[in-house]
Amino acid sequence: MAHIIYVLVCSADERILHLKVLAAIAQIAQNPEFDKKWLEASSKEELKNIILLAERKRG
């Protein structure tokens, strides 16, 4: 059963950015604590911060 669904909307000229965002989300979601934090979030702002502040490899 799916608990988390991501929707990305980009213009045609942002295809590369779209792929980079998907790769970053895939990396973040592999963290064992991610699901727990996401499901316990109490606001949209908290959900956004879980993604934006998550540790991930850059480069």
pTM of the predicted structure, to 2 decimals: 0.67
Cβ–Cβ < 8 Å for 41, 47: yes
- Domain locations in the chain? 1-59
pLDDT at 43: 96
Residue for token pair 């879980």? 50
pLDDT in tens, 41-58: 999 999 989 988 888 776
Widest distance between CA atoms in the chain = 35
C-alpha to C-alpha distance for 33 and 55, rounded to whole angstroms: 11
pLDDT at 59: 59
CB-count burial class (<10 Å; 0-12, 13-18, 19+) for 50: middle
